[in-house]
Structure 1
C-alpha cells in the first residue's frame, strides 16, 4: 500500500489509531495540541528565568552575563539533547532504550583507544558513530527479530556495554590527545560554541526526518498501532530495527561531544543519560505508549532540565534537591498524559456527540 494509505489506516479509529484532525484550522487536532503544549513549555522556561532574576538580581542585571549564561545552558543541554533526539524516535515508535548512556560510554572509550587515535580525528569520529550505530542495531535485532521486550533487551545492553567499555579501557580514563576533537568543545563560531551548532544540526535533521519524510510517518504509524501499520504494508520489524540504529547513531555523536568536553573518555561517562533523555521526551509531550511526540517538545524538555540545573548551581543549592525537583516534574508530566484526552480532536468529537 502507499504511505498515504498506511497513515490513514494507522490513524483510523477502527484500528485503534487517533481520530483524523478536524477541518477548519491549524489550531485544531494534534497539531494545535502540540503547539499549545510547546507554548506551555516556553512558559515554564520563562518562569524559571523569572525565578533566577528574583533570586540573583545582580547577575541577571548584567546583560553580558545573561548571554554567557544562555550559551552555558545550551552547551550543557547539547550532549543530552542529541541523545534525546534519538530517544524520541524510539519512544514514538513504541519502544524504549535504557542503554543510551552505556552506548555513549562504549563509543567514547572505543574512539579514544591508542589504536583509534592513531587514525586522527576522522578515525575517532567514524569509530564512535559506527560503534554507536552497530550497538543500536544489536538492540533492534534482539527486539524486532529476537522478540525480546525492549525494556529487557536494552537493560541487558546497558550492563553489557558498560562492561565492555570497562574491559577496553582497563577501568582507566583514556585521554584524548587529538586537538581537533578537543577543540570541538573549546572553540566557538560567531561567539556560539561548536557543540551548540552540532546540537542544532541534529535537531534540524531529526525534525525533518520525523515531519517531512516517509520514515517519520511510518514511525508514528508503527508506534500508534503496529498491527494496523503491518496491514498497511509497513515492515514493522525492520522499521523498529532502524529506530534503534538511529538512537545508537545519536549516541555515537554524543560520545564525541562528551569526549571533547572532558578531553577524555571512561566507562562511567554518560551515566544516567538515558533517564535524562526519556524524561526530557516525556515532558516534551512524547507518549510512553508510542504514536505521538515532537522533536521541538523534546528539545524544550532538555533545555528546561538544563535551566533547572543552571538555576540550582548559581543559587548554590544541593544536587539532591535538584533531583527531587526533576523527579516531581517527570511525575507531573506522566500524570498529565495519563488523565488527559488523547487529542483535542477527540475532545471536540465527544462534545459534538453529546450536544447533538
Structure 2
C-alpha cells in the first residue's frame, strides 16, 4: 500500500497580492504641474504674487530714477552707494516693522512703537547707563522696550482695553517719560562701540543692514516655521476659535506686544548709533511708517494674514520713494502725499480681491438673486 504525500493547493489568483500599475512619469509630472498651478491660483500663491508685484514696483521706481536723473544712474559706483543708502534708511524702520507685522497679524495695532524707541534711546544714553559701557546701554534699551511692550500686552489682554486706545495712551506716556528723563535735552552718546554700529562695514555693507537682515530672518522663521507663528495667525484670524482650540489668547497677545517692544529696543540702539545721540522727539511717526509698510506688504489690518518678506519690501519701497524725491529735489510735502496715496491704494486692493473673472461674475449673480 503506497502512501501519498499531500500537496498544497495552488494559490488562487484572488489570494495573490495586488500588483500596482506601473507609474507613468508623464502623468506624475502632469499631476505635479497641476498641483503647482492650483497652489499659485489659490491662497498659497497669493503672498508670492503680491511679493512679485512689490518687486515690480521697485523696478518701476528705479526706472523713474533712471529717467529723471540719468547723470547719477550712469555712474555704477554712485548706484551702489545709493543702494546702500536706501538700505540704511530702511534698516531702523524695518526692524520696527517686523514687530508691527506680528502685532497686526495677531489682530492688534501698536501706535506706541515710535515713543518706545524714543524712551529706550533716552534711557540708554543717560549718564548713569553709559557708565556701564556698551553692554549696559544695549541691555537697558532692550529691557525698556520689552517692558513697555509687556505693559501694552497686559493692558490689552487682561485689562481688556482696545489696542488703539491702550497703545495711544502709551505713546503719550512714553514720550512724556522720555522728555522727563532727558529734561527735554539731547543726550549725546559717548560710547565708541555704540556709535560705530552706524559706521562699521563688513564686506562693504553697513552693519545696520546686517542687523536688519538678521531680524527679518528671525522674524520669518518665527512666523513660518514655529508654533508661535501658527498661533499668531490663528489668534488674528479668529480669536474665539483659537481659544476653543486650546490657545491661551491672552498670554499670546502679551507675547506679541513684548516682541514688538523688543524690536523697538533694537531699533533704539540703531537710531542712537546713527545720530550719536538720543532725545524725546526721536523716531517721530515711526508707527505710521511701520503700519504703512506692513499694509503695503500685504498684512491685513483685520489680522490673520501677513508676511515678513512683504513687510520688508514695503519698507524698501518707501525708502526708495524718499530717496527718489531727495535726488530730484522735491519737497517732503509732495512725498507724504504720494505715500498717503500708496497706502489708500493698498487698502483698496486688500478689500477688493477677485481671483478670477468667474468668481467676480458668481458674486454678482449671488447679489442680484
Q: TM-score normalised to the size of structure 1?
A: 0.90
**1:27 Cα deviation after fit:** 1.6
Is 2:325 the partner of 1:312?
yes
**1:31 Cα deviation after fit:** 2.3
Is 2:91 the partner of 1:78?
yes
**1:338 Cα deviation after fit:** 1.3
Q: For residues 43 and 152 of structure 2, what CA distance do their matches in structure 1 show?
A: 31
Residue matched to 1:122 = 135
Residue matched to 2:35 = 24
Q: For residues 313 and 230 of structure 2, what CA distance do their matches in structure 1 show?
A: 22
Query: Which of structures 1 and 2 has the larger relative contact order (alpha carbons within 8 angstroms, sep 6+)?
Result: 1
Residue matched to 2:24 = none
Q: For residues 340 and 126 of structure 1, what CA distance do their matches in structure 2 show?
A: 45
**Bigger radius of gyration:** 2
From 50, 67, 70, the counterpart of 2:80: 67
Is 2:235 the partner of 1:222?
yes
**1:347 Cα deviation after fit:** 5.2
Q: Secondary structure at the match of 2:116?
A: helix
From 112, 116, 140, the counterpart of 1:99: 112
**1:29 Cα deviation after fit:** 2.5
RMSD: 1.6
**1:30 Cα deviation after fit:** 2.2
Q: TM-score normalised to the size of structure 2?
A: 0.87
Residue matched to 1:264 = 277
Q: For residues 28 and 138 of structure 1, what CA distance do their matches in structure 2 show?
A: 42
| Runs of 5+ consecutive residues of structure 2 not aligned to the other structure | 1-33
Q: Secondary structure at the match of 1:97?
A: coil
Q: Secondary structure at the match of 1:332?
A: helix
Give CA deviations for 1:54-84 in whole Å, capped at 9, x if unaligned.
0000100101100000000000000000000
**1:24 Cα deviation after fit:** 1.9
Q: Secondary structure at the match of 1:48?
A: helix
Q: For residues 38 and 306 of structure 1, what CA distance do their matches in structure 2 show?
A: 17
Runs of 4+ in 1 over 3 A off after TM superposition: none
From 193, 200, 225, the counterpart of 2:206: 193
Q: Secondary structure at the match of 1:171?
A: coil
Q: For the structure 1 residues 216 and 347, does the alpha-carbon distance in structure 2 shift closer, same or farther, using more than 3 Å as the test?
A: farther
